[in-house]
Structure 1
Amino acid sequence: MITLENLTKSFQQNKGSVRALDGVSLEIQQAAVCGVVGPAGAGKTTLLRCLGLLDRSDGGSIRMEGAELSGLDGRDLRAARRRIGVVPQGDSLLRQRTVAGNVALPLESADLSASQRRARVAELLDLVGLTDKAPVYPDQLSEGQRRRAAVAQALATRPSVLLADEPTAELDPATTDAVLTVLDRARSELGVTILVATEDTAVVRRLADDVVVLDRGNVVEQGKVLDLVSEPGSRIGSALFPAADQGRSATQPGRGHDVVAEVVLTGFAAVGALLPEASSRFDVELSILGGGMTRLGDTPVAKFSIGLSGERSESALKWMIDHDAQVHRAPARVDGVVAA
């Protein structure tokens, strides 16, 4: 587990001191993927650099697997850094080295034989799908391939934590998916705990178990992704669903319905069958007034504004709650229905 308590960090600029992190506290479970989300300047990169022991925080505590990392120096600091892999923003590969040479770079100061280094490099290139690119130089790779090679390099010393700073920035959807697949494999096959800093909620939707939303160095929201999508008013919960299709005809919630509510459904069975079964079981007319569907990791999730009409509308709503639907009454107007 990684635990941050009241982490602070300031920088001096021409206009004075700027607080990049302002009392950040969070916990990340082992082998989880945590998305660190926020606009440019929110403090995402600073948080990852402090956690990666590349920058020293001004105050607060960083603990990893029970060990305090704040304030380490010398040999202890170098040893702690080897437990943390870092994929920095942009292109970090050395142009004069081949892909294999770049991946091997962190191993050259380790007590490994040449054959052991070659075996580790081969293992990592297979993980990221670049085995055939081992003798190739970075300028001969696509941008997505360079990002995957950087992930392999960051994993070379078998770290328990991987920090990835905007690993999919400016990539097309197919290339983004390839990079996220590599990160997912690192978690599932190597048991690595991953923090991904990103402005792209699609990364959270595809990969993250947990999410932390930063704004001007402050944590404004955090929690399990599947929990936050069910919370009314959640910033990240709303952002993870596609916008309503404004091209469709708008419906005014509450007009002609006995009960109006917002319903969040999670899982294949619930998304596919819960609403029709409630309508049939209680002999009520159920109208979808707006909302959308998405997928969080491998889990389908739907958020709908619904209207119920009929004598047993309240019973139908209670039955949905009893069958694990998250239900909130009197939602704001949502126009159109979309699927993604």
Structure 2
Amino acid sequence: MITVENLSKSFWGNTGPVVAIDDVTLDVPTGTITGVVGPSGSGKSTLARLVALQERPDSGVIRVDGFNTAALDPRRLRAARRRIGVVTQGDLLPQRTAAGNIALPLEQAGVDGPQRREKVGKLLDLIGLTDKAARYPDTLTDGQRARVEVARALVGDPGLLLADDPTRSLDSDGAAGVLTVLDRARAELGATVLVVTSDAGVVRRIADDVVLLEDGKVTESGNLLSLVQDSASQVARTLLPSIDVPKGATAGYDRVAEVVLIGFAAVGALLPEATARFGSTISVIGGGLTRVGETPVARFLLGVNGGWADQSLTWIAERGGVVRPQVGLARTVAA
């Protein structure tokens, strides 16, 4: 759907040119949710404007459905922009109801009344606000207004839905509601979703793929569940529970290992079964549980005691656990 190739963009600042995007290449796979995450100033919003075709890059190519947008004439460029739904924030018209705000692009496009009402009704159901159709924006919560803005971006059946920091300034309930709507847009409408955010929790909650952006450059990208299994991955360090243990907490164990477990079966059963099978004592020294989408993921620092400590860890690894022995943190196992 969207392919970005060697994209660069600079602006003039007080001291000269400032590079916002530097040779960025990425794919947004069709039918997925891709999260672009990075700190403030990393170039995320600039990248979002470029992908939305709201600005032109200094160099590089943006392809929409395989077409190089730089080579499109004005008419075809407008058509390409219509294929991209952009979620705005704080842009609802106060004098129009929730339904009226969603319907506005359809009215501007000349869609007749019955078709508008049918389309708006389906989107109100998608965002869970059918009962708020006649409410005005100032009577809705921040989270509800944000969901209306998502619905308005979806009203033209875009192939790509682009949301730049969609949970900014929302409380936890409001943010969860918006992320649920983005997930439903992908699952029920078949939209490809690109979410740009500084909140790693947003990526962990809904993304299939992730792009890590720093200082305008892509430093890491790929399938999210694959990256969290990679010990060298910065995404894994960012998204998985941290392991903070007091000094001396690892003393007294035959083996100490960091273990990442993915999936209900692994998280719920591998450690108890290894204990029962090998007679080892397995203790969780640090770490914790989280979820990547709907998949539970655990990152633990384990202390293992018993003559079969090595075999216990090997058995866990053979069944899908990612095991990283901590050298120098364990005593020698007795024969």
Question: TM-score higher than 0.5 here?
Answer: yes
Cα distance, 1:309–1:196 mapped onto 2, change above 3 Å: same
Map of 1:338 onto structure 2: none
> 1:68 and 2:68 equivalent?
yes
Picking from 299, 304, 309, the partner of 1:308 is: 304
Query: Which amino acid is 1:198 matched to?
Result: T
> 1:22 and 2:22 equivalent?
yes
**Which structure 1 segments of 5+ residues have no match?**
334-340
Map of 2:202 onto structure 1: 203
Q: Secondary structure at the match of 1:31?
A: coil
Asked if the contact 2:278/2:308 (under 8 Å) is kept, the reply is yes
Map of 1:39 onto structure 2: 39
Q: How far 1:181 moved relative to its partner?
A: 0.9
Q: Secondary structure at the match of 2:144?
A: helix
Query: Which amino acid is 1:186 matched to?
Result: A
Asked if the contact 1:251/1:289 (under 8 Å) is kept, the reply is no
Q: How far 1:260 moved relative to its partner?
A: 2.1
> 1:125 and 2:124 equivalent?
yes
Q: Secondary structure at the match of 1:70?
A: helix
Asked if the contact 2:243/2:300 (under 8 Å) is kept, the reply is no
In the alignment, the residues of structure 2 paired with residue 266 and residue 156 of structure 1 have an alpha-carbon distance, to the nearest angstrom, of: 37
Q: How far 1:318 moved relative to its partner?
A: 1.7
Q: Secondary structure at the match of 1:271?
A: helix
Map of 2:156 onto structure 1: 157
**Which structure 2 segments of 5+ residues have no match?**
330-335
Pairs within 5 Å for 1:87-236 = 87-88=87-88, 90-110=89-109, 112-236=111-235
Query: Which amino acid is 1:220 matched to?
Result: T
Query: Which amino acid is 1:55 matched to?
Result: E
TM-score (norm: length of structure 2): 0.92
Cα distance, 1:186–1:331 mapped onto 2, change above 3 Å: farther
In the alignment, the residues of structure 2 paired with residue 157 and residue 22 of structure 1 have an alpha-carbon distance, to the nearest angstrom, of: 32
Asked if the contact 2:241/2:299 (under 8 Å) is kept, the reply is no
Identity of aligned residues (%): 53
Query: Which amino acid is 1:6 matched to?
Result: N
Q: How far 1:60 moved relative to its partner?
A: 1.1
Map of 1:252 onto structure 2: 249
How many residue pairs match? The answer is: 329
> 1:7 and 2:3 equivalent?
no
Asked if the contact 1:3/1:27 (under 8 Å) is kept, the reply is yes
Q: How far 1:96 moved relative to its partner?
A: 2.9
Q: How far 1:172 moved relative to its partner?
A: 1.0
In the alignment, the residues of structure 2 paired with residue 163 and residue 103 of structure 1 have an alpha-carbon distance, to the nearest angstrom, of: 17
Pairs within 5 Å for 1:287-306 = 287-306=283-302
Q: Secondary structure at the match of 2:70?
A: coil
Asked if the contact 2:143/2:173 (under 8 Å) is kept, the reply is no
Map of 1:48 onto structure 2: 48
> 1:268 and 2:264 equivalent?
yes
Picking from 314, 320, 323, the partner of 1:324 is: 320
Query: Which amino acid is 2:324 matched to?
Result: H
Asked if the contact 1:7/1:59 (under 8 Å) is kept, the reply is yes
TM-score (norm: length of structure 1): 0.91
Between 276-285 and 109-118, report the one with greater CA deviation: 109-118
Query: Which amino acid is 1:37 matched to?
Result: V
Cα distance, 1:170–1:114 mapped onto 2, change above 3 Å: same
Residue deviations 1:41-82 (CA, integer Å, cap 9, x gap): 111111111111111111112223323223434110110111
